[in-house]
Structure 1
């Protein structure tokens, strides 16, 4: 799981090459399979990251530990024939977020156990995110506190590295967007100031040095900043290079670094390419991938009903609505409005909180019922046009039979290929 491609990103940017890497932030097996097939077909590395909420020593919402997740991804890679030497695994938002309801000492101890498990399992890209307050603390912490806690996590990771493996690269940053998109209106989004970015680097440098982690700090390759991109339930702020010009220029002063751009989901390709050109070389995408997958599943729902293969009361959409109403913990505090507005958000929000439900046995059973009903039959092109319009051109271009499973993979592939083109991979 070589880290060379990550360590080389700053040099590529300094040389004027618009080259980046796409970070696939998803634990959905079809998303991962599609991304690995694309990497196999195009012979490029694939970076897959698990968040602290998805995967941790307690199992996260996927039920997987870091070692479980590595074996899960490697199993898919073997199935599709992807070269494991081109697989990079990352841990995203590693810090106290899952335990911020606890006092800081307890939350940070659990965080150190978690990051040690990620490091021991061979994850070689580790995002240190200690920016949130824990019980009794303010929501946002002073940079010095954040940096000290980040250094303690790096120390735990360095102490857990397997013998003979690549040493991990680290991502730092105190202006870290919340996982999964914004929780409020986006009319006050502020681009990180150059001074804030430089101060973040310096305060982390000092904190790492205080822990005798100079070697680890030399492998800090990226800093998370706010370039002026974000999404909410139905809002999208598209990248404006002019507003980030001063921030982008900071990289000339810190040649060790590139920027990592979070919340790039739903950005148009031109905006993504602009981010890469301006040094936001690591493009993270997650909810947009399960969003298009959900679109495809719901489209296949309607196709199965049109073909009399499913009754209207047997659709995945109906099963998901029943499940989300019965177990509202993953969406209830994020969505607001009357009953009609909540129903729309549960299924169609850009924030895609529905993604938390796909590992649920009831959701798996509903999708399995749909896929069994459609089987390997050829999906008629007119029905693809009607219910999966965004896939029609790509499906037609294949010039061959296309079945339901292939359409799901194609939906994700269109998104990952868009990102890969923007990152200069395709």
Structure 2
């Protein structure tokens, strides 16, 4: 085990601050997903790369009320650690993070009620041992503007940090590391033209950090300032239903330079899904050390599942509805997760439900009918899949199946597809870690 893997979990993130101004700046991938196959693939990737794995849950996914996964923070941690145990990944090398922790799930309520719910959520995350906490109170609640002013956002974030500090003390766990700020637009993919994306202004990033520091001091938690390790910014990376805005460092050079005035933090980049390896490498070089990915991983899983679904149809295994048909029925029955995100006529929306880069279909995989359909599909194909059909419908995996690096079984093919989506992140971060 190398020295990178052997470091304590909290130091893996803290080291990024010192490394970012060296000839070999550090970086880490943040896995934002609650799908068991994505979690397993990420942990297998950690074993292969001999690195810790940062896994984050969002406020909508996981909270003290259950979120859309039905899991509390403690239950989510147990869920991830059980997967780790099955593949032999040391649970001590998992960093747990909470993403966009704030009033967002309850923003339809008056601010005070929503913030009280957010306090309970943050306390639950910290008590469960989540060590990286992204405080995001930028969204307005009932009767408020959609986006709040920096000063009010910081005051509310500090309020949640006070709760986090007390929760850590009560639970006897390490006090968390904090990320502040938010990206525009909100998480989940752009809802406007990618051409309108604006890189965060340097002065805005500096202001975000400044007002949060002042709010922490005013709230009496000066001690937590040394654990504010990152600021979320928009470096010009995004995706929408059909397009990807690739990082262009010439557009973000002034933002990157602003880190010289922020010596104790790194930048956290959200929505880095689908970025090519060269762009991810440039992001790390430029100080965007925490690279968050989520929909891109479940998109890769969905591609593999639909490829397998087509293979089953070619082989004549069509006694039940196809996986795609099952997913369509589930999404139409409960449109809440996609209806406001997918514009257009019926044909366009059907296409987006299944194939959008925003991958809103990911919200439906936990449905019992979806799980049963996937299990049926795996059972149909578990005896083996003819290599020519893997070439036809899962072509990117074919050469490794032929070389016997991937067994021609459905579950292993899905895991390999997810690991492929992580490969550009590995390349970007490995080159920095190894001196490339």
CA offsets 1:209-244 (integer angstroms, 9 cap, x no match): 001111112101100001001111112110000000
Q: What residue in structure 2 maps to residue 57 of structure 1?
A: 64
Among candidates 152, 161, 171, match of residue 159 of structure 2: 152
Once residues 75 and 415 of structure 1 are traced to their aligned partners in structure 2, the CA distance between those partners, rounded to angstroms, is 23
* Local SS of the residue matching 1:74: helix
The offset of 1:164, in angstroms, is: 4.6
* Local SS of the residue matching 2:68: helix
Q: What residue in structure 2 maps to residue 417 of structure 1?
A: 423
Once residues 63 and 416 of structure 1 are traced to their aligned partners in structure 2, the CA distance between those partners, rounded to angstroms, is 26
The offset of 1:176, in angstroms, is: 4.6
* Local SS of the residue matching 1:15: coil
Matched, 1:66 2:73: yes
Instruction: Could you list the structure 1 runs, at least 4 aligned residues long, displaced by more than 6 angstroms after superposition.
Output: none
Among candidates 396, 404, 422, match of residue 402 of structure 2: 396
CA offsets 1:386-424 (integer angstroms, 9 cap, x no match): 111222233334356421110000000111222122122
CA offsets 1:351-391 (integer angstroms, 9 cap, x no match): 1000000001111111111111112x222221111111222
* Local SS of the residue matching 2:179: strand
**Contact kept in structure 2, 1:300 and 1:404, CA below 8 Å:** yes
**Contact kept in structure 1, 2:136 and 2:182, CA below 8 Å:** yes
Among candidates 320, 324, 327, match of residue 334 of structure 2: 327
Q: What residue in structure 2 maps to residue 360 of structure 1?
A: 367
Q: What residue in structure 2 maps to residue 92 of structure 1?
A: 99
Once residues 182 and 285 of structure 2 are traced to their aligned partners in structure 1, the CA distance between those partners, rounded to angstroms, is 23
Among candidates 391, 406, 411, match of residue 405 of structure 1: 411
CA offsets 1:85-126 (integer angstroms, 9 cap, x no match): 210000001011100001110101100100000000000000
Structure 2: segments with no counterpart, 5+ residues: 1-7
Q: What residue in structure 1 maps to residue 232 of structure 2?
A: 224
Matched, 1:387 2:400: no
**Contact kept in structure 2, 1:146 and 1:174, CA below 8 Å:** no
* Local SS of the residue matching 1:159: helix
**Contact kept in structure 1, 2:183 and 2:270, CA below 8 Å:** no
* Local SS of the residue matching 1:217: helix
Among candidates 336, 342, 348, match of residue 341 of structure 1: 348
Among candidates 283, 287, 294, match of residue 286 of structure 1: 294
* Local SS of the residue matching 1:398: coil
Once residues 171 and 283 of structure 2 are traced to their aligned partners in structure 1, the CA distance between those partners, rounded to angstroms, is 36
- 1:145-184 map, 5 Å: 145-161=152-168, 163-184=171-192
TM-score when normalising by structure 1: 0.97
Once residues 164 and 171 of structure 2 are traced to their aligned partners in structure 1, the CA distance between those partners, rounded to angstroms, is 13
Once residues 395 and 414 of structure 1 are traced to their aligned partners in structure 2, the CA distance between those partners, rounded to angstroms, is 14
- 1:210-221 map, 5 Å: 210-221=218-229
Once residues 219 and 406 of structure 2 are traced to their aligned partners in structure 1, the CA distance between those partners, rounded to angstroms, is 59
Relative to structure 1, the CA distance from residue 399 to residue 107 in structure 2 (aligned partners, 3 Å threshold; closer, same or farther) is closer
Among candidates 315, 318, 324, match of residue 310 of structure 1: 318
Q: What residue in structure 2 maps to residue 202 of structure 1?
A: 210
Matched, 1:252 2:260: yes
Q: What residue in structure 2 maps to residue 13 of structure 1?
A: 20
Structure 1: segments with no counterpart, 5+ residues: none
Over aligned residues, Cα RMSD in angstroms? 1.4
Once residues 48 and 210 of structure 1 are traced to their aligned partners in structure 2, the CA distance between those partners, rounded to angstroms, is 31
Relative to structure 1, the CA distance from residue 199 to residue 400 in structure 2 (aligned partners, 3 Å threshold; closer, same or farther) is closer
Once residues 203 and 404 of structure 2 are traced to their aligned partners in structure 1, the CA distance between those partners, rounded to angstroms, is 50
Once residues 178 and 316 of structure 1 are traced to their aligned partners in structure 2, the CA distance between those partners, rounded to angstroms, is 30
Q: What residue in structure 1 maps to residue 197 of structure 2?
A: 189
